[in-house]
């Protein structure tokens, strides 16, 4: 049984550390094709998962990023993702680390409002004990290294991604014309 399956079998409520339950498919314009969602941060549509073709690597997807990267790798493996979570106390720091300097990261960890709650500590202790894990030694350096060496150009997206961002579709097809029947259906579905 894989570590992910063992983790899921624990049935932990990881909401206190920002890994909330939700649909296994992202459903956002920027969710890459082939992504299986492992959990949701609980705000702004931020979700974490693995993408077919990238092995055990764990990614963060943020529909409203501070920069221009909607998808970023966080860990080479689910084990490393859990070790990062143990070190940082929540997914918030993991997801935002790509836009921070070391000083901003350290300040975030020290800020009283970011102290891990008792419920969060209990979840983290259960994860550490169940899998004999220790916190990642230098999470900031680890995440920065994996993000600096990652080529996101091979990620595949739906047409909605290219249309939303006004980018040319890789297959050369054009988005449906404005005011089309397709657009009317999409608008009607969004209102539901």
Distance CA 51, CA 75 (A): 12
Kindly report the number of other CB atoms within 10 A of residue 46's CB atom: 22
Report residue 117 as tokens.
Answer: 């709650």
Entry pTM: 0.86
Per-residue pLDDT of the chain (192 residues), as tens digits, is: 788 889 888 889 999 999 988 877 778 999 999 999 999 988 888 999 999 999 999 999 999 887 788 999 999 999 999 999 999 999 999 999 989 999 999 999 999 999 999 999 999 999 999 999 999 999 999 999 999 999 888 899 999 999 988 888 888 887 766 654 445 444 444 544
- Contact present, 74 and 146 (Cβ < 8 Å): yes
Residues 10, 130: contact at Cβ < 8 Å? yes
Contact 105, 94 (CB under 8 A): no
Q: What are phi and psi of 28, to 5 degrees?
A: -100, 155
């Amino acid at each position: 049984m894989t570590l992910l399956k063992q983790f899921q079998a624990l049935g932990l409520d990881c909401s206190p550390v920002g890994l909330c339950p939700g649909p296994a498919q992202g459903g956002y314009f920027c969710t890459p094709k082939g992504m299986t969602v492992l959990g949701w941060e609980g705000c702004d549509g931020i979700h974490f998962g693995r993408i077919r073709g990238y092995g055990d690597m764990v990614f963060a997807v943020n529909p409203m990023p501070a920069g221009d990267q909607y998808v970023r790798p966080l860990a080479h493996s689910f084990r490393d993702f859990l070790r990062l979570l143990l070190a940082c106390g929540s997914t918030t720091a993991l997801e935002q680390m790509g836009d921070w300097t070391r000083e901003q990261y350290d300040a975030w960890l020290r800020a009283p409002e970011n102290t891990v709650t008792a419920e969060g500590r209990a979840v983290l202790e259960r994860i550490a004990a169940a899998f004999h894990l220790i916190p990642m030694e230098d999470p900031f350096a680890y995440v920065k290294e994996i993000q600096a060496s990652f080529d996101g150009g091979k990620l595949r997206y739906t047409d909605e991604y290219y249309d939303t961002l006004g980018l040319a579709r890789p297959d050369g097809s054009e988005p449906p014309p404005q005011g089309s029947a397709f657009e009317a259906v999409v608008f009607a579905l969004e209102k539901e």
